[in-house]
Structure 1
Amino acid sequence: MQRFLKPFSSAWGFRRLIYSMAEREVLGRYKGSWLGLFWSLVTPILLLVVYMFVFGFIFKARWPQSNGVDEGFASLLFCGIIVYLMFSEILGRSPRLIVDNVNYVKRVVFPVDVLGWVAIGNSLFHFFISTVVLLAFVLFSGKGVGLSILMFPVLTLMFVLFLAGISWLVSALGVYIRDVTYVVGFLTTALTFLSPVFYPKSIVPEKFALVMDINPLTFYIENYRKVLVLNEFPDPTSFAIAAVVALGTFFLGYGFFQRVRRGFADVL
């Protein structure tokens, strides 16, 4: 039991260090700009306005729904994009997460595994800001927020555990196999279109349904839309499967990272 609790106890034990480093990353991103941290709020608002204008007024796009009701293309699209952006940021940073922090690796007492939590903390901050903007837009449009919003913390916790496992796994591989950077670059681009970011899963032809189902982003994008925009609860079966996958990825990534981390200093 203690073995399974180790990644959680480690994160809790170094929570102040993780918070401090994540805060420094967030503030460092906007250092020197006139608006500073305010950009974290302005950027998602501007993106949402652009999506509304381009897809709503120019393309006059409508979200395909089985009941023929337009649920708001801009909010559904924006929801998919903020989920994808968090995933792509973590995946894109992971191959060089250890390589770019050699000074920490060389320190024997430094807990290198917290670097993954720091990256997630940075992305999570911007994800929450974008989510607030999305919810404000949903309320402003008159659609309202239902009880399904109660599933948001649980869904986010699952997403974070999944991303943490991916980050540890990819960052460890990135130390030994530098080509991982290029593979990840291709995957992040391909997943933009192979994930239901700009469209719902329901319109994908049946023969390609398997491709969508094995893509873990499909579950999170579709269910964040249900919880935040459509006022629907996730399907219990798919939710349980996704939870098992998230936990499995989390422990697999952490175990692999801890097994190979001893050789980081020698390779770097």
Structure 2
Amino acid sequence: MFGSFWRNRQLIYQMSKREAIGRYKGSVMGLAWSFLNPLLMLVIYTFVFSVVFKARWGIGADESKTDFAIILFVGLIVHGLFAECINRAPSLIISNVNYVKKVVFPLEILPWIVFGSALFHTIISLVVLLLAQLVLNQHVPMTAGLFPLVLLPLILGSMGLAWFLAALGVYLRDVSQITGMFTTVMLFISAVFFPMSALPERYQFWLHFNPLAVIIEQSRGVLVFGQLPNPLMWSVLMGLGLSMAWAGFAWFQKTRKGFADVL
């Protein structure tokens, strides 16, 4: 799994770059949309939840709408990276039939290419978040440098799911319909719009079994509140992420022999 990534790293980089830039090819504003899209969604969600529903994070009596927006943005960034990888996975092989039939191509890198494109937009959103913190709060915690480490289990787990869904999508075309619903459900049950502490204790226990919710909470800790991630929780998530990546990759390699026949 890691050997394939290392051997094809240059190809992954070039194709991810083409994927990220090609999304805005022909548009007037070009890559500026990668800044505007997350900002627009942030404004909409902030208005709906903090103005209409009067939602609060409970971080203090002087909590402002900008504080709410920054904390919310962290959840949207993490979920967005996960959702883009999962939503696009089922159609990866189907939309690249030429790579299956006519060219000797390492098909297993296709999920990495999607991840690379998603990571580009995540980095841009992260830059927007950090700039907003500097402008509005005049402070970015030193623990923000640990964000890539917190995100690592999510990356591995997302890749495992992407390999599994990419292979399954060849044989079962309905998968692409299910993943859209799945990522939408995850948006609302992964503590994106509320802190885990806001739930009754009996529900908080169950929410800890949602890896995405735990990673979002840890991401807020390092990016906003200056808290170190829980080493034990991170180790458990890392083990789960590695297991999912290995299982997804093994499934992909096992089933890829039938891709050409089905397509």
TM-score normalised to structure 2 length:
0.91
Q: Does 1:213 align with 2:200?
A: no
Work out the CA distance in 2 between the residues paired with 1:182 and 1:208. Answer: 28
**CA shift at 1:52, angstroms?**
4.7
Match for 1:74: what amino acid? A
Write out the 4+ residue segments of structure 1 that deviate beyond 6 Å after TM superposition.
Answer: none
Aligned with 1:159 (options 148, 154, 162):
154
Corresponding residue of 1:98: 93
2:229 to 213, 234, 259: 234
C-alpha distance in 2, partners of 1:21/1:165? 20
How far residue 57 of structure 1 moved from its aligned partner, in angstroms, is 5.1
Distance (whole Å) between structure 2 residues aligned to residue 179 and residue 131 of structure 1: 33
| Match in the other structure for 2:145 | 150
Q: How does 1:27-106 map to 2 (within 5 A)?
A: 27-56=21-50, 59-65=53-59, 70=63, 72-106=67-101
SS of residue paired to 1:70: coil
Q: Which residue of 2 aligns with 1:122?
A: 117
CA deviation digits over 1:117-148, x for unaligned, max 9? 00000100000100110111112122512221
Q: After TM superposition, give the deviation of residue 250 of structure 1 in Å.
A: 1.1
CA contact (8 A) 1:145 1:228 kept: yes
1:174 and 1:192 mapped to 2: Cα distance?
22
Asked if the contact 2:71–2:220 (Cα under 8 Å) also holds between the matched residues in 1, the reply is yes
Q: Which amino acid counterpart does residue 163 of structure 2 have in structure 1?
A: W
Q: Does the Cα contact within 8 Å between 1:168 and 1:253 map onto a contact in 2?
A: yes
Q: Does 1:13 align with 2:7?
A: yes
Alignment-mate amino acid for residue 37 of structure 2: T
Note if 1:112 corresponds to 2:107: yes
| Aligned counterpart, 1:187 | 182
Q: Aligned-pair distance for 1:68?
A: 5.7
The structure-2 alpha-carbon separation of the partners of 1:240 and 1:36, relative to structure 1 and needing over 3 Å to count, comes to same
Q: 1:48 to 1:223 in 2, by over 3 A?
A: same
Identity of aligned residues (%): 45
Post-superposition CA distance 1:31-62 (Å, at most 9, x none): 11111112212322333344455545555542
- Determine if contact 1:55/1:74 at 8 Å carries over to the other structure: no
Q: TM-score if structure 1 supplies the norm length?
A: 0.90
Match of 1:243 in 2: 238
The answer for the alignment partner of 2:173 in structure 1 is 178
Across the aligned residues of Structure 1 and Structure 2, the Cα RMSD in angstroms comes to: 2.0
Q: Which amino acid aligns with 2:6?
A: W
**Aligned-pair distance for 1:190?**
1.4
Paired residues, what number? 261
SS of 1:145 mapped into structure 2: coil
CA contact (8 A) 1:51 1:78 kept: no
- Cα distance between partner residues in 1 of 2:135 and 2:227: 19
CA displacement at 1:209 relative to structure 2: 3.0
Q: Give the partner amino acid of 2:122.
A: F
Gaps in structure 2 of 5+ consecutive residues: none
Deviations 1:165-188 (A, max 9, x none): 111011111112222222222211
